[in-house]
């Protein structure tokens, strides 16, 4: 029987990784709007490294899930960073958060949708700063653990606002 993938002592879990990557994508595209951008590890910047793990030994979980020593993966997964970014971008396009110029893939360029731009430009009740500014602030200044929590909260507000808009609440 194969050894299960061991959870590392440090690093974000799957939802924290997703929230951080989405937060970085929104932050960068918001700052570059209206210019379309290719999105990759370099574009997302050094904070993206928080979700990366490099196992020191081969790890297996059944016949399908394997991590090879010395290779880069997103925390708690067997997914390489490039694939993870592409899957996240595809989901954001499908859900209407981003627009894609060109065919899906590594050469496509992305831009915030009007829906996402409107949400990022809103200030939550009781706050004077809009979500886009809040996201930029936490991406730039927060420590790893606190930063991931703050980014996750803002990404949750953005996705929640989109969901409420879709159901008319």
138 confidence band (pLDDT: 50, 70, 90): confident
> Where on the phi/psi map is residue 12: left (φ > 0), alpha (ψ -120 to 50), or beta?
beta
User: Per-residue pLDDT tens for 14-64?
Assistant: 888 898 899 999 999 999 988 999 999 999 998 888 888 888 888 876 666
Per-residue confidence (pLDDT) for residue 82, from 0 to 100: 93
* Beta carbons of 19 and 152 less than 8 angstroms apart: yes
- Express each pLDDT in 101-118 by its tens digit: 988 778 899 999 988 888
CB-neighbour burial class of residue 136 (10 A; exposed 0-12, middle 13-18, buried 19+): buried
End-to-end CA distance of the chain: 50
Asked whether the beta carbons of 76 and 7 are under 8 A apart, the reply is yes
Least confident of 17-21, 38-42, 123-127, 133-137: 123-127
Nearest CA among 28, 7, 6, 152 for reference residue 89: 28
pTM of the model: 0.75
Domain locations in the chain?
Answer: 14-163
Q: Residue 13's pLDDT is what?
A: 78
């Amino acid at each position: 029987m194969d050894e299960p993938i061991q959870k590392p002592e440090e690093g974000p879990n799957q939802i924290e990784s997703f929230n951080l990557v989405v937060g970085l994508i929104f932050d960068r595209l918001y700052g570059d709007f209206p210019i379309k951008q290719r999105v990759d590890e370099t574009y997302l910047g050094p904070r993206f490294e928080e979700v990366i793990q490099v196992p020191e030994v081969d790890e297996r979980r059944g016949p399908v899930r394997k991590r090879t020593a010395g290779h880069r993966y997103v925390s708690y997964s067997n997914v390489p960073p490039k694939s993870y970014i592409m899957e996240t971008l595809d989901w954001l396009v499908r859900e209407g958060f981003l627009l894609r110029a060109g065919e899906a893939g590594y050469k496509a360029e992305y831009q915030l949708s009007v829906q996402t731009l409107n949400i990022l430009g809103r200030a939550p009740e009781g706050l004077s700063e809009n979500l886009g500014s809040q996201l930029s602030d936490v991406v730039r200044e927060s420590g790893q653990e606190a930063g991931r929590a703050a980014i996750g909260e803002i990404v949750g507000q953005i996705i929640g606002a989109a969901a409420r808009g879709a159901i008319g609440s």
